Amino acid sequence: MTQPDFDLVVIGSGITGLTAARLAGQRGLRTACIESVLFGGLVININELDVPHDNGPVSGISLATGLMGELVELGVTNLNETVTSIQYRNGGFSVVSDGGSHGTQAVIVASGARLRRLGVPGEAAFEHKGVSTCADCDGPMYRGKDVAVVGGGDSALQEALVLADYGRHIHLLVRGTAFRARGHLVAAVSRRDNIHVKWNTVVEEVLGAEYVEGVRARSTSGGETFEIPCSAVFPFIGLQPNVDFVPSDIRRDANDSLATDTALQTSRPGVFAAGAVRGGYGGLLADAVSDAGTAVASASAWLAR
Ligand code: NDP
């Protein structure tokens, strides 16, 4: 049997993938890290990460750039390609992309997740015209204006808090009667006078002419519809795992996330999953780093078997 190109291919270069590739490189594994879009993943949208650092706040971009530099020093192969499938070959794997086919003995899927869409009329049409998913990037454009944030999880509350520094009124539209977010975010939101929580509220349409001018919402308790005038809508209603290229015989959970055991192995031996692509992921930066460590340790054990 010919030697595969790599011991380990890491698919995805968010913080999970970059950390996994770094740890694999440090172990001396012949490693490739494949990314289709931007190295760094969703974290590069965050100006100030919630992590302690001696030299003050750390941005997502600086964290990702530092990791990328380490990969280069460790000799990890970074490929800017879109993975289309993982094929089973000769007891190992071929990771097939638009750039070719890469033979490997083990795979860590760290392809993360994308933000779920509301799927209502107007959402796609007003993308970049008031519909946004980055408060740090677009918040300054809405200084003194009214905006709506949709969702009741950590992301929605975190982004609402960023927007509260710029906007006049922040309408936080929650479809149920309780937040799903962590306590410290709920407490911080309750301290902001300009964040107004509207419970039992779902968005039915994003309204406007050239730019967003409001949303049509519906009460899930009474059923009545009403309009909320606003200049922007920020939907944060959860994550959709990026698993299109993962073979269908690898088990998923009800959310379409990859199912893993405690070693982060998927139902296919030799294929591991880490970070937001897997069910049960904790969601914090620390969880991404911890997942990367577990997956690399498990992949190493698999390679040494
Ligand atoms: P979550 O899945 O945690 O929350 C999604 C929210 O959107 C819920 O309130 C849900 O309501 C609501 N929702 C879902 N679908 C709809 C819909 N169609 N219309 C209206 N509302 C809807 O997603 P997040 O993106 O907030 O978080 C994802 C992960 O990332 C979590 O693990 C989180 O902990 C982590 N995270 C951590 C952060 C931090 O610690 N600083 C920051 C951001 C994210 P319902 O509750 O009724 O289902």
pLDDT in tens, 270-280: 999 999 999 99
pLDDT digits (tens, 9 = 90+) for 173-183: 999 999 999 99
Cβ proximity of 43 and 19 under 8 Å = no
Cα separation, 132 vs 235, in Å, equals 7
> Considering only CA atoms, which of 83, 114, 89 is closest in space to residue 9?
83
Taking CA atoms only, the protein residue closest to ligand 1 atom 2 is 238
Residues with CB under 6 A from ligand 1: 50, 118, 150-156, 158, 175-176, 180, 202, 236-239, 283-284
Block residue for tokens 């902001």: 192
pLDDT of residue 38: 79
Report the alpha-carbon distance of residue 222 to residue 200 in Å, rounded.
Answer: 9
Ligand 1 mean position, distance from CA 96 (Å):
32
User: Which of 15, 158, 175 is the best mutation target for the ligand 1 pocket, counting ligand atoms within 8 Å of the beta carbon and taking the most?
Assistant: 175
Ligand 1 centre to CA of 155 (Å) is 6
Residue with tokens 């007003």: 126
The answer to whether 131 touches 104, Cβ cutoff 8 Å, is no
Cβ 9 vs Cβ 24: under 8 Å: no
Tell me the pLDDT tens digit for each residue of 9-29.
999 999 999 999 999 999 999
Pocket test for ligand 1, best of 118, 180, 200 (most atoms within 8 A of CB): 180
| Length of the chain measured in residues | 305
CA distances from 120 to 124, 125, 135, 204 (A): 8, 10, 20, 6
Span from the CA of 187 to the centroid of ligand 1 (angstroms): 17
Which of 149, 155, 281 is the best mutation target for the ligand 1 pocket, counting ligand atoms within 8 Å of the beta carbon and taking the most? 155
* CA atoms lying within 13 Å on the CB side of residue 221: 8
In sequence order, which residues have a C-beta less than 8 Å from that of residue 256 and are 6 or more positions away? 240, 241, 243
List the chain residues with pLDDT less than 50: 1
One-letter amino acid for residue 73 of the chain: E
Cα 178 to middle of ligand 1, angstroms: 12
| Structure letter (DSSP) for residue 257 | P
Please report the pLDDT score of residue 14 as a whole number. Answer: 92
Name the phi and psi angles at 264, rounded to 5.
65, 25
The whole-number pLDDT of residue 44 equals: 77
Pairing between strand 225-229 and 212-219? antiparallel
Which SS3 state, helix, strand or coil, does residue 74 take?
helix
**pLDDT given at position 284:** 87
| Nearest-angstrom CA–CA distance, 134 and 116 | 14
Q: Best of 117, 154, 205 to mutate for ligand 1, by most ligand atoms within 8 A of CB?
A: 154
The rounded Å distance from CA 173 to ligand 1 centre is 12
Q: Give the orientation angle of helix 60-74 with respect to helix 15-26, to 10 degrees.
A: 30
Q: Which of 31, 140, 9, 27 is nearest to 76 (CA)?
A: 31
Q: What angle do CA 71, 15, 66 make, to 5 degrees?
A: 45
Q: Whose CA is nearest to atom 9 of ligand 1?
A: 152
Give, in order, the Cα–Cα distances in Å from 297 to each of 33, 92, 94. 17, 18, 21
Distance 202 CA to ligand 1 centre (A): 14
Stated as kind and residue range, the H or E segment containing 35 is strand 31-35
197 contacts: CB under 8 Å, gap ≥ 6: 172, 174, 189
**What separation in Å is there between the alpha carbon of 150 and the centre of ligand 1?**
10
